[in-house]
Amino acid sequence: MKAIVAGSGGREHAIAYTLAQSNLIEEVVCVPGNGGTAFEKKCRNIDPKERADTASLPFVEAFVAIARAERADIAVIGPEDPLADGIADALWEAGIPAVGPKAKGAALEASKDAAKIFMNKYGVACAKSRTFTDEADALAYVSEQGAPIVIKADGLAAGKGVVVAKTDEEAARAVHDLMQGAAGKKLVIEEYLQGVEISVLAAVSVTAESAASGTAAIVPFLPARDHKRLLDGAQGPNTGGMGAVCPLADVDAATMAAFDRTILQPTLKGLIAERIDYRGFIFFGLMLTKDGPKALEYNVRLGDPETQAVLPLMQSDFAALCTAITDGTLADFPLEWKPGVQVAPVAVSGGYPGAYQKGVPIAIDAATVTQTGAKIFIAGATAKGNSLVTSGGRVLACSAHGDSFDEAWNKAYAALKAVSFAGMQYRTDIGLPGAAESN
């Protein structure tokens, strides 16, 4: 099979790399890909902006045109924006199976209000909330409820649309600031939940046919944790993710059973009832509270950087899993996991998440990285000749496996220390006690 992957981040490098490990895959075309996929075996980048036939097209149209020209057998969509824009709909219409929900399903991430309506309708355990389109009404509600409180922009905001306000003044400022952005003309204001955050990714296969036959399925992956804050000890500003660990010592079978009962199965029930064609992945952002797990959000794709810690632990053939998602056989798919732990700290550009310099040369001691057994997943770097230069805030992740957490942690950080570029920053506590964000 030839697979085609949409996206250019660390998640997409991990997806492309994992697909390429399958004997079912002859080639992975990455659109546009990045500096990591440029050097990956069995992978090839195509930048639609560099092709005469696609340079002027919107990304969805360009991607479908390339998928057709490449005669791709399956497409895997990494980021949320093209899913919200209907890329899966367009691919299926073109006869190309797509791993990613159609636009109706993608609304579960594209609109936090739509997600909350869905959760409440189908009994998904989640935070209590109200939705506002008027700033004065929102401010009055925040004043009435008091801090701490959570303010969320309704639309897609690249991970920058949520403020956990600890004071009334911070809450009022968040309401005003988020209302000014394109994603925040509508706000969802939620109760503040106390607990610790985790992420659970899952494969989903729901169609009208599978719903009717009783074969619709949602299959959870191992629980993981992303560390959002820039600095050690969960301090500093929020980022797109400073590293991930999988699985989690603080998540037991009873917690996962409660998640299945109160969140996973109600979500599947809702997808079926709403007749949503959802063949892809879903990300559950969860808060583990004293009353059990509560859903914070849905993402309609794999998480980043969780993917860089979760996919390396998958024992089953990832390409076969993707095919099972698209052809409706997910319910019978034997999903298996490797024993052990995966740790994946992220290196970021100096100044991130604020302004940062691009085009900085990256030096990698390949022999040391090989010795650790770690895999470097590139996020914000492009190829320049046979080398890499930075092109984004989150530059790369060093993902390493171990029989124990300590072994995985030591290998990951040994590999990370073999990487250097001017201004490079990273947390030194990914997965350690006290590193997780908690409320």
Mean of pLDDT over the chain: 95
| Whole-number Cα distances in Å, 132 to 113, 121, 139, 265, 294 | 9, 19, 10, 29, 22
Q: Summarize the confidence of residues 239-251 as an average pLDDT.
A: 96
What one-character DSSP code corresponds to residue 248?
A: -
Which residue, 427, 358, 437, 356, is CA-closest to 398? 427
**Backbone phi, psi, residue 426, to 5°:** -160, 155
Residue 240 clears pLDDT 70, i.e. is over it = yes
- pLDDT for res 222: 98
Q: Distance (Å, rounded) from C-alpha 103 to C-alpha 281?
A: 14
User: Cα(335)–Cα(272) distance, rounded to whole angstroms?
Assistant: 22
pLDDT at 389: 98
Q: How far is CA 233 from CA 43, 94, 192, in A?
A: 37, 48, 21
* pLDDT(183) > 60: no
Q: What is the pLDDT of residues 332-359, one digit of tens each?
A: 999 999 999 999 999 999 999 999 999 9
Parallel, antiparallel, or unpaired for β 394-402 and 341-348? antiparallel
Q: How far apart are CA 75 and CA 84, in angstroms?
A: 16
DSSP string of 14-38?
Answer: HHHHHHHTSTT-SEEEEEE--TTGG
Q: What is the pLDDT of residues 124-158, one digit of tens each?
A: 999 999 999 998 999 999 999 999 999 999 888 76
Q: Which residue has the tokens 């530059």?
A: 395
Predicted local distance difference test score (pLDDT) of residue 356: 97
Stated pTM of the model: 0.96
Does position 191 have pLDDT exceeding 80, yes or no?
Answer: yes
pLDDT at residue 25 is higher than 70: yes
Asked if 120 and 263 touch (Cβ cutoff 8 Å), the reply is: no
